[in-house]
Amino acid sequence: MSDTGTEAMEPRAEAAKLDESDELRGKRAEFSGYGLDEVVYLDGNSLGALHRAVPGRLAEVVEHEWGRLRIRSWDESGWWTAPERVGDRVGRLVGAAPGQVVVGDSTSVNVFKAVVAAVRIARGGGLSDTGAGPESGGGGPARDEILVDAATFPTDGYIAESAARMTGCAVRPLPAAGIPAAVGARTAAVLVNHVDYRTGRLHDLPGTTAAARAAGAPVVWDLCHSVGALPVELDAHGVDLAVGCTYKFLGGGPGSPAFLYVRRGLQPRFDSPLPGWNSHADPFAMASGYAPAEGAVRGRVGTPDILSMLALDAALDVWDGVSVESVRAKSLALTDFFLRCVAAYVPAGRAESITPAAHAERGSQVALRCPDAGDVMAELIRRGVVGDYRRPDVLRFGFAPLYTRFADAERAARVLAEVLTEARGGGAAD
Query: Could you read off the pLDDT of 367-400 as tens digits, one per residue?
Result: 999 999 999 999 999 999 999 999 999 999 999 9
Inform me whether the pLDDT recorded for 411 exceeds 90.
Answer: yes
Q: 256 and 308 in contact (C-beta within 8 Å)?
A: yes
Which is catalytic among the residues 43, 105, 196, 222? 222
Which pLDDT value is given to residue 140?
A: 67
Q: How confident is the model at residue 423 (pLDDT cuts 50, 70, 90)?
A: confident
Q: Is 153 a catalytic residue?
A: yes
The number of beta carbons lying within 10 Å of the beta carbon of residue 194 is 27
Inform me whether the pLDDT recorded for 137 exceeds 90.
Answer: no
Inform me whether the pLDDT recorded for 317 exceeds 50.
Answer: yes
Which pLDDT value is given to residue 8?
A: 61
CATH architecture observed for domain 58-319: 3-Layer(aba) Sandwich (3.40)
Higher per-residue confidence, 177 vs 426: 177
Which pLDDT value is given to residue 6?
A: 52
Please state, in angstroms and rounded to a whole number, the distance separating the CA atoms of residues 310 and 73.
12
Q: 19 and 12 in contact (C-beta within 8 Å)?
A: no
Inform me whether the pLDDT recorded for 4 exceeds 70.
Answer: no
Which pLDDT value is given to residue 93?
A: 98
Per cent of the chain over pLDDT 70 is 94
Q: What is the mean pLDDT of residues 23-50?
A: 95
403 to 48, 73, 248, 395, 418: CA distances (angstroms): 10, 33, 13, 21, 25
Q: Is 41 a catalytic residue?
A: no
The number of beta carbons lying within 10 Å of the beta carbon of residue 413 is 29
Please state, in angstroms and rounded to a whole number, the distance separating the CA atoms of residues 189 and 121.
9
Which is catalytic among the residues 28, 143, 300, 396? 396
Beta strands, E only, 11-163: 40-41, 101-103, 145-149
Per cent of the chain over pLDDT 90 is 91
Q: Is 22 a catalytic residue?
A: no
Which pLDDT value is given to residue 259?
A: 99
- Count helices and strands (H / E) in the chain: 12, 13
Which pLDDT value is given to residue 129?
A: 79
Please state, in angstroms and rounded to a whole number, the distance separating the CA atoms of residues 334 and 336.
5
Which is catalytic among the residues 41, 197, 247, 345? 247
Q: Domain spans of the chain?
A: 11-31+321-423, 58-319
Q: What is the mean pLDDT of residues 241-249?
A: 98
| 354-368 per-position pLDDT tens digit | 999 999 999 999 999
Inform me whether the pLDDT recorded for 135 exceeds 60.
Answer: no
Q: Is 396 a catalytic residue?
A: yes
Please state, in angstroms and rounded to a whole number, the distance separating the CA atoms of residues 127 and 240.
8
Q: What is the mean pLDDT of residues 271-293?
A: 97
**CATH for 11-31+321-423, among 3.40.630.30, 3.60.15.10, 3.30.460.80, 3.90.1150.10?**
3.90.1150.10
Q: What is the mean pLDDT of residues 28-49?
A: 95
245 to 143, 172, 227: CA distances (angstroms): 29, 25, 8
Q: What are the residue ranges of helices labelled H in 238-387?
A: 306-315, 324-345, 373-382
On average, the pLDDT of the chain sits at: 94
Q: How confident is the model at residue 429 (pLDDT cuts 50, 70, 90)?
A: very low
Which is catalytic among the residues 248, 300, 328, 405? 248
Which is catalytic among the residues 31, 41, 112, 153? 153
Buried b (16+ CB within 10 A) or exposed e, 271-293: bbbbbbbbbbeeeeeeeeeeebb
Q: How confident is the model at residue 125 (pLDDT cuts 50, 70, 90)?
A: confident
Inform me whether the pLDDT recorded for 197 exceeds 80.
Answer: yes
Q: Is 290 a catalytic residue?
A: no
